[in-house]
Amino acid sequence: MSGKRQFTPLEKKIIHELQQDLPVVRRPFAAVAERVGISESELLEKVREFVADDIIRRFGATLRHQRSGFDANAMVVWEVEVERAEEVGNILASFREVSHCYQRPAMENWPYRLFTMIHGSSPEVCREIAQRMADAVGVEKYDLLFTQEELKKTTMAYFGESENEPGN
């Protein structure tokens, strides 16, 4: 896509709605489409267009672990060779206790390249989960970074309600 894109009022409304939490229903995009006033297939076609044009890069999920019944969570950082990172990451991501799994470059003073967020009923349960994961992938060097305080989780908002009105 070249140049600055001009969004139509409908596109602004779609983007605004997609910035909100998706409803926890069997077909969340159908519910969003209904709020926008278009069909589910029209919404999904527009989402595909936004992805192709790099306007939408991903959909993310936020787990508020305390509200979900988990009393502990930890970011487990894994020291893994770059050649094994994808293989190990796929296995770690398959654990049901993992809500996030991603790779970052290792640094000189930070040898960890894989990160998994795990959730459990206690710190000890989180340690047990991490050990099971380590055994499954054959990785000995890892550490758990327990959450001390949950900070406000927000999403960037690009179009407000007033910008969705006709003529804006």
Domain ranges of the chain: 9-60, 72-146
Tell me the percentage of the chain whose pLDDT exceeds 70. Answer: 79
DSSP type of residue 137: H
Question: What are the C-alpha distances in Å from 59 to residues 47, 99, 128, 144?
Answer: 11, 14, 30, 26
Q: Which residues of 92-114 are buried (b: 16+ CB within 10 A; e: fewer)?
A: beeeebbbebebeebeeeeebbb
Model confidence at 55: pLDDT above 90: no
pTM for the whole structure: 0.55
9-60 and 72-146 share one CATH topology? no
pLDDT for the residue 32: 93
Mean pLDDT lowest among 44-58, 60-74, 93-107, 129-143: 60-74
Asked if the 72-146 domain carries CATH number 3.30.70.3460, the reply is yes
Tell me the percentage of the chain whose pLDDT exceeds 90. Answer: 58
pLDDT in tens, 61-108: 555 545 555 568 899 999 999 999 999 999 999 999 898 899 999 999
CATH topology of domain 9-60: Arc Repressor Mutant, subunit A (1.10.10)
Q: What is the mean pLDDT of residues 46-63?
A: 80
